[in-house]
Chain A
Amino acid sequence: MWDEAMLWMLLQGIGETLYMTLVSTLFAYVIGLPLGIALVAFAKGGIRPHPVLYKVLDVIVNLTRSIPFIILLMAIIPFTRWVVGTTLGSTAAIVPLTLSAAPFVARLVESSIQEVDVGVIEASQSMGASTLQIIWKVMLPEARPSLIVNCAIASVTILGYTAMAGIVGAGGLGDIAIRFGYYRYEDEVMFVTVVLIIVVVQILQGIIMNIAKHSDRRK
């Protein structure tokens, strides 16, 4: 059974997994980063306190985070079709993956920025920095190492979700593991895909953590 076709399938699986993970992580940050920043800025004692907006965003993030991914995946099928024109394949899986990960990313971003010393933010206010300048020049750069570490957590979590996206024919290593390893009792395939997933996760995590370490000037 370890013929060329199987090898190609595994390689394609790695490719699909990485494609879904990286693109979904990117889009999740496109939504989650501004959302996380807004949560910090609008919070009580933030740089632009706004109780109503804060509450609205807080509730949205909490509600969307409560929906299990596998349910969201199927529940938003009409939306997915509207966005990408299909509900099958890796690209279609990116829509639910992004929507599911965005509120999670928002919370990660929120906690990273909250770690920034309030004294430093206050000092920049005393120098006449505007809200946007504080966000761009103080909060994000000062939180950078923590933001990158959390990005590793987010991408690994998203990679885990891609396995479930196999249900809608998204492909990827998780899909192979379920179809061959689970439904067909092909234990070797199960073993190989699990090892491959572990390797992919370790490499991805290793790269991001290394970037985080080298970007931190506090040590």
Chain B
Amino acid sequence: MVGKPMIQIRSLSKTFQTKNAEVHALRNIDLQIEKGDIFGIIGMSGAGKSTLVRCMNMLEKPTEGSVLLDGLDLANLSDAQLRQARHSIGMIFQQFNLLMQRTAEGNIRFPLEISGVDKDTAKKRAKELLDLVGLTDKANAYPSQLSGGQKQRIAIARALATNPKVLLCDEATSALDPNTTSSILALLKDINKRLGITIVIITHEMSVIEEICNRVAIISDSRIAESGSVAEIFSHPKTEAAQRLVFPEGKHTTDHFTGRRSVRIVFDGTSSFEPVIANMVLAFQSPVNIMFADTKNIEGKAFGQMVLQLPENQMLADKMMSYLDSRGLTVEEVSGNVG
């Protein structure tokens, strides 16, 4: 990546003071989000992910550390400067948070009104955005007359009205059914491609990350456990927190077949959807036993892992391993009791 990052978070901590104790919502967070990224932040509820995204537009003031937006240190701004900076950070929410007494168009005009755009320009811009989110015919509908997915589309249009550099999504699809979730994610992806806007997505659902993110950070117990490209994290989750999210059924499923040689194959997205295992069986004219498989299709590439039991013939097994190796897969032998 070239140029300075869109969002840079440096040793950020957030502590809430309650009556009886201090609650450390975030501890020493370092994070870098590049321009044009769709960056996912995933974690269990209570991990601190919502606090983190709210620190990115200072809805929550960090106790320590800094947040740089396109080089601008948000923590050091005056109130007026911060309000100005917020025009370039859009945000959408789980509960949509639309103004119930304004029409869809009125909601989209709202951020333009408060930033001092004149009425005619605001109206024109609102119309463009309604087109963008595919709700041209709902301009005069009130939020109570819209479905959840439509409300979120209006919220997205509203967030984009002032041409922000960043769009923050706080559990934006958690209140939606799976089909609507997919269509909202597709819209976000489209916006990212067309407008080049950087998107930060907070979620507790791995499927959301799989579907649209290119980079991901895993937050666990108020800290960043791991971050990197989605491909990396999905194929080689290093920390326990990451493994729990990527392989919710558990990684240690090889206990039962320790008698013969078993290998774990990791699909890290570098191989295409060639039927590798089937081709291998055909090539060697010898069956293998698939003991475990958990693969996912992300952006047309295979991710996940598979455990195979190889034939007892040592030479044949070795050849199979090198065959798999030559197909660009990571192969590791599962020896004995891994658990």
Asked if A217 contacts B100 (CB within 8 A), the reply is yes
Interface size on B, residues (CB 8 A): 31
Closest to A116 in B: B100
Asked if A137 contacts B95 (CB within 8 A), the reply is no
Give which listed residue, A126, A133, A142, A145, contacts B99 with CB less than 8 A. A142
B115 interface contact, C-beta 8 A = yes
Give the distance in Å from the alpha carbon of A133 to the alpha carbon of B98 in the complex. 16
Q: Contacts of A216 on B, CB cut-off 8 Å?
A: 101
Closest to A217 in B: B142
A218 interface contact, C-beta 8 A = yes
Give the distance in Å from the alpha carbon of A122 to the alpha carbon of B155 in the complex. 13
Asked if B59 contacts A128 (CB within 8 A), the reply is no
A117 interface contact, C-beta 8 A = yes
Give the most central of A128, A138, A215: most B CB within 10 Å. Answer: A128
Give which listed residue, A119, A128, A130, A142, contacts B101 with CB less than 8 A. A142
Q: Contacts of A217 on B, CB cut-off 8 Å?
A: 100-102, 142-144
CB-defined interface of A98-132 with B at 8 Å, one 1/0 digit per residue?
00000000000000000001011011111111100
B323 interface contact, C-beta 8 A = no
CB distance from B168 to the nearest CB of A (A): 8
- Where chain A touches its partner, the secondary structure class is helix
Q: A125-B59, A137-B110 known; A218 and B102 CB under 8 Å?
A: no
Closest to B57 in A: A126
Q: A126-B59, A126-B89, A127-B162 known; A141 and B114 CB under 8 Å?
A: no
- Residues 65-106 of A contacting B (Cβ, < 8 Å): none
Q: Pick out which of these stretches binds chain A: B79-87, B186-194, B269-277.
A: B79-87
B183 interface contact, C-beta 8 A = no
CB distance from B221 to the nearest CB of A (A): 26
A219 interface contact, C-beta 8 A = yes
Asked if B99 contacts A128 (CB within 8 A), the reply is no
CB distance from B248 to the nearest CB of A (A): 30
Q: Contacts of A119 on B, CB cut-off 8 Å?
A: 93, 95, 97
Q: Contacts of B148 on A, CB cut-off 8 Å?
A: none
Q: A141-B102, A217-B144 known; A130 and B95 CB under 8 Å?
A: no
Range class of the A interface residue count = 20 to 34
Give the distance in Å from the alpha carbon of A219 to the alpha carbon of B84 in the complex. 35
Closest to B144 in A: A218
Asked if B86 contacts A120 (CB within 8 A), the reply is no
Give which listed residue, A117, A120, A122, A133, contacts B114 with CB less than 8 A. A133
A179 interface contact, C-beta 8 A = no
Give the distance in Å from the alpha carbon of A215 to the alpha carbon of B83 in the complex. 31
Q: Contacts of A218 on B, CB cut-off 8 Å?
A: 100-101, 142, 144
Give the most central of B57, B84, B168: most A CB within 10 Å. Answer: B57
Asked if A128 contacts B97 (CB within 8 A), the reply is no
Q: A137-B110, A142-B100 known; A123 and B91 CB under 8 Å?
A: yes
CB distance from B110 to the nearest CB of A (A): 7
CB distance from A45 to the nearest CB of B (A): 13
Asked if B99 contacts A120 (CB within 8 A), the reply is yes
Q: Contacts of A122 on B, CB cut-off 8 Å?
A: 59, 93, 97
CB-defined interface of A197-219 with B at 8 Å, one 1/0 digit per residue?
00000000000000000011111
Closest to B100 in A: A218
Asked if B93 contacts A137 (CB within 8 A), the reply is no
Asked if B86 contacts A126 (CB within 8 A), the reply is yes
Asked if B98 contacts A120 (CB within 8 A), the reply is yes
Give the most central of A122, A144, A219: most B CB within 10 Å. Answer: A122
Give the most central of A129, A130, A142, A145: most B CB within 10 Å. Answer: A129
Q: A124-B110, A128-B111, A128-B115 known; A141 and B83 CB under 8 Å?
A: no
Q: Contacts of B57 on A, CB cut-off 8 Å?
A: 126
Q: Contacts of B168 on A, CB cut-off 8 Å?
A: 126
CB-defined interface of B54-72 with A at 8 Å, one 1/0 digit per residue?
0001010000000000000
Give which listed residue, B83, B84, B91, B99, contacts A138 with CB less than 8 A. B99
CB distance from A3 to the nearest CB of B (A): 52
Give the distance in Å from the alpha carbon of A125 to the alpha carbon of B168 in the complex. 14
Closest to B95 in A: A119
Residues of chain A at the chain B interface (Cβ within 8 Å): 117, 119-120, 122-130, 133, 137-138, 141-142, 144-145, 215-219
Residues of chain B at the chain A interface (Cβ within 8 Å): 57, 59, 82-87, 89-91, 93, 95, 97-102, 110-111, 113-115, 142-144, 158-159, 162, 168
Other A-B pairs, 9, CB within 8 Å; known A124-B114, A127-B159, A218-B142: A120-B98, A122-B93, A122-B97, A125-B86, A126-B89, A126-B91, A128-B86, A141-B101, A217-B101
| Shortest beta-carbon contacts, A-B, top 5 | A128-B86, A123-B97, A128-B83, A119-B97, A127-B111
25 residue pairs from A and B, CB less than 8 Å apart: A119-B93, A119-B95, A120-B98, A120-B99, A120-B100, A122-B93, A122-B97, A123-B91, A123-B93, A125-B59, A126-B57, A126-B59, A126-B86, A126-B89, A126-B91, A128-B86, A128-B111, A128-B114, A128-B115, A130-B114, A138-B99, A215-B101, A217-B101, A217-B144, A218-B101
